[in-house]
Structure 1
Amino acid sequence: MTTTDTAPDDTETSAQRYRIGDRDTSGRYPVTVDGQPGGDIHRFHGEWYARPHGHTEESRHDDRKKAAAHLVGLVDSGVIDPAAAPSEIPADETQGIVPWLSPRMKPTRRNILNAGIALGRIAELAWLPQDKDGNTTGYPGSDNWWDLKCQLDGKVIPRWWSHLRGRNGDNTPRPVYRHKGCIPFEDQAAKVAALVGEPPTGCPCREVAHPTTPDDVDQLLKRAERARKADDVDTLRPLLTQLLGPCPASSARAESMKTFLPKPKN
């Protein structure tokens, strides 16, 4: 559960007492207070969230400093016991309806479209939605870390989809050199082309029929929306698999999905 809890904190004074560690594979940063476990913080859709050590509830804050300082206040007020067992991430944070959509992203029509477009594009760029343990990582939104595996050298790199998709009509990803330590820049385009090849325009999959035309996408989206509103997960799961699951024709599917997005204003 997320709250806007406001334990007393003095951001400047608290900064001398907390330390923010390195981001883990789930996108969270561990925080110590006076050298003892204080909890963790993470960013999602432009806001920061603090989760106290030994607790599962979160509080929302304007920036990372205020989120970390909030944990200091909770230590001082006795809410956090540094000797308690670590917080356990609730199951719904790690297990979504399907692996290609972050469990924090509701399977709404707009989120499904954005996810399908993103998944199609990263396939064209020779990235895989995969973490260091080989698990599929779901689309987390445009401005959140997304662990992706570079197919050129096998490294897993946290990226923002907003950087990969380009901007202002220019589809060139940023940075153009992919990531630090990748193969030489002058060899990248040829290797991507060799890996990706010419994507088919129709789904060749045998077990699942993925949509590649606007009409097929529209029908599945309507069925998925009805299932979501009815809280019918058993019906929704295979529909999301058709709309988001890996397919050699994911580029064609993504292009069809783009036709349902609002037209940009001039």
Structure 2
Amino acid sequence: MTTTTTTTPAKKRYKIGTRGASGRYPVTVDDKPSGDIHRFHGEWYARPHGHTNESRHADRHAAAQHLVTLVDSGDVDPNAPAAAESADVGGVVPWLSGRMQPTRRNIISAGIALARVAELAWTPQDENGATAPYPGSDNPWDLTCGLCGKTVKRWWSHLRGRNGDPTPRPAYRHKGCIDFEDQAAKVAALIGEPPTACPCHETDHPTTAEDVDRLLNLAERARRADDTDALRPLLAQLLGPCPASSARAESMKTFLPQPKPKN
């Protein structure tokens, strides 16, 4: 006679709450405040309650479980005040989050995103009018609507569309905007036909693939040398506002990894 022994799964002690305006999810362990978790640039981070330090994890559940471990070790005091929400860490230039290294790939991603939101009549800025840097594809981004002037949080991963279709998701802009039927016409009237060459006087923004590649290479050398003074003007050329940002972004796209052909 065969006896089968079943093991009851351990009870999950953590609960992940609703994401707040900053993109963080509060976590309780045994129903007590224990910290928060958030996703940034494809990875998850856990911050213990009352602390400012963070640790990186593979997914949200691993991040939350790490807080359980910290609670059991006595490193979390549920009675401590919660850590204050901090503003985005200042970067080399205002158009790229300080949490994102100015690598070649991140610069290209930011340049493409900044150009596309401009085409859609969004301005990257917060409610106080300060420039909101590109935060990565899966993080909330403060954008001011060019149709009604309201500042809302959107995600580049939603605005860029999917599977080759550039239509933003959802198709409507945000709650309280002008009538959906009037949005496309107003965007077209505001944006017009973007120039293909940089018309700026103070900064010469690249629009050809050759110039983009040259500046990207110089920026990478400056980053590796930790030469911020040399890096800053290069990033201003590659990411700074320009009426020809669409042409610049199209050239940047030529340096993205190409999909492998299907067999």
TM range (shorter): 0.7 to 0.9
Q: TM-score, normalised by structure 1?
A: 0.83
| Identity score, percent | 71
Paired residue type of 2:108: L
Conserved? CA contact 1:36–1:82, under 8 Å: yes
Structure 2 CA distance for aligned equivalents of residues 153 and 241 of structure 1: 28
Structure 2 CA distance for aligned equivalents of residues 250 and 175 of structure 1: 24
For residues 163-206 of structure 1, what are the alpha-carbon distances to aligned partners after superposition, in whole Å with 9 as ceiling and x for unaligned?
A: 21222222222211122332211100011011112212221222
Query: CA shift at 1:96, angstroms?
Result: 0.9
> CA 1:113/1:46 → structure 2, altered by over 3 Å: closer, same or farther?
closer
Q: TM-score, normalised by structure 2?
A: 0.84
Question: Once superposed, which parts of structure 1, at least 4 consecutive aligned residues long, lie more than 6 Å away?
Answer: none
The alignment status of 1:48 with 2:40, answered yes or no, reads no
Partner of residue 126, structure 1: 121
Paired residue type of 2:153: P
Conserved? CA contact 2:33–2:78, under 8 Å: yes
Match of 1:40, SS?
strand
Paired residue type of 2:239: L
Partner of residue 21, structure 2: 24
Pairing partner for 1:156 from 151, 159, 162: 151
Pairing partner for 1:204 from 199, 208, 229: 199
> CA 1:118/1:14 → structure 2, altered by over 3 Å: closer, same or farther?
closer
Conserved? CA contact 1:203–1:209, under 8 Å: yes
Match of 1:41, SS?
strand
Comparing 118-127 with 132-141, greater Cα deviation is found at 132-141
For residues 203-244 of structure 1, what are the alpha-carbon distances to aligned partners after superposition, in whole Å with 9 as ceiling and x for unaligned?
A: 122221111122221221111111011010111011101100
- Could you tell me which runs of 5 or more consecutive residues in structure 2 were left unpaired when the two chains were aligned: 1-9
How do 1:179-258 residues align onto structure 2 when only pairs under 5 Å count? 179-258=174-253
Conserved? CA contact 2:14–2:31, under 8 Å: no
RMSD across aligned positions (CA)? 2.5
**Considering only CA atoms, is the larger Rg found in Structure 1 or Structure 2?**
2
Match of 2:205, SS?
coil
- Could you tell me which runs of 5 or more consecutive residues in structure 1 were left unpaired when the two chains were aligned: 1-9
Query: CA shift at 1:258, angstroms?
Result: 1.5
Number of residues of Structure 1 aligned to a counterpart in Structure 2: 252
